[in-house]
Amino acid sequence: MVGASAAGAVAWLYNRPRHLPTQAAPLHTASEKNRSVVSMEAQGERRMHTKMAQFVQDLQSEIVEEISRLDGKEFLNDRWERDEGGYGISCVLQDGNIFEKAGVNISVIDGKLSRPAVQQMKSRNKHIAGDADVPFCVAGISIVMHPHNPFAPTVHLNYRYFEINDPDNPGRPQMAWFGGGSDLTPSYFFEEDAQHFHRTLKEACDAHDQVFYPRFKQWCDKYFYLPHRGEARGVGGIFFDDLDDRDPEELFAFVRACGKAFLPSYVPIVHRRKDTPFTPLQKQWQQLRRGRYVEFNLIHDRGTKFGLFTPGARIESILMSLPLTARWEYCHTPQPGSPEAQLLEVLTKPRSWA
């Protein structure tokens, strides 16, 4: 078995926290909210960054409260500040009643892009002046939840707003974009779960543009794919990056809707599956599937690689998405016709769910 430590894919760039973690402390005090928002508004040019920062704070509080109520155990709240600018809150639940591990993290940070980070962005056709020390700011939320029960799926969410700023005027954006998505990773396949998850996301997308869901569903299928295994990580969802093709207010409203769709897309599935009886062999299969999750995140995930390229990165935050436990077996193959084999068939042949 392989252990992994805690905290988030948005949380790429963090230094070690100045404050020790506290159990079940209020997530966002009034003074903390005012300090973060006022400091950004004072710069005058970063209104969207301010709005996104407030949104991820509020969404984190809402989701942590609901998942704590569902699980019956409180999250550990790890507050930190970054010397270079910004702050974050990592909320992690481990060894709960329903969840083996769950993380709900936010980051609202400023900094300068390292040379590898700039090179990675330029490879995505970002026209960035300079090769290093480019000022940026980002506000985002990252969520990963791994239930105990092998019939309850893992879920992932990440939404972020990224600005590249003028070196001569760090408060003025040169370019900005939104990115993110949400996807479902079951160990055992239930068509009704995949349909519910996708239909909920499709409703959020369709309210803003009916092109969004099919476009971002296909993008998700391509992104969350393990080429060395020839299979998808899960049954997908939506994924997008570098989204800057229309008015920022429209895109912000879309991202808000997707974030607010998280609880209704996932919690009903957990309620359906959390008490299903399971055998040791089914638990073992779940651990093997989590091994695939680890492989994707450490080999292919863009956010993880970005963080590991960044000097002073907070490793606990970067690796939040990894499960508490995982397993690898040599040449494991499920029995033909078994539920385990059915999952692999689904993962090798993308299909429509909504």
Q: Which helix (H) or strand (E) holds 138?
A: strand 134-147
Please pick, among 49, 148, 156, 196, the residue that the annotation labels catalytic: 156
Residue in 71, 70, 88 with CA at minimum distance from that of residue 79: 88
Q: Is 32 exposed, middle or buried (0-12, 13-18, 19+ CB in 10 A)?
A: middle
CA distances from 348 to 27, 186, 221 (A): 41, 14, 11
| Residue 284, φ and ψ in degrees, nearest 5 | -60, -40
Q: What is the number of other CB atoms lying within 10 angstroms of the CB of residue 12?
A: 27
Q: Dihedral of CA 123/125/126/132: which sign?
A: positive
Q: What is the number of other CB atoms lying within 10 angstroms of the CB of residue 1?
A: 10
Asked if 49 is an active-site residue, the reply is no
**306 half-sphere exposure, CB direction, 13 A CA radius:** 21
Q: Which helix (H) or strand (E) holds 26?
A: none
Nearest-angstrom CA–CA distance, 29 and 25: 10
* Contact predicate 144/103, CB 8 Å: yes
Q: Is 21 helix (H, G, I), strand (E, B) or coil?
A: coil
User: Tokens standing for 226?
Assistant: 């393990």
Q: What is the crossing angle of helices 212-223 and 191-206, to 10°?
A: 130
Count, in order, helices (H) and strands (E) of the chain: 11, 12
Nearest-angstrom CA–CA distance, 137 and 125: 19
Q: Label residues 200-224 b or e (16+ Cβ within 10 Å = b).
A: bbbebbeebeeebbeebbebbbebb
Catalytic center residues: 156
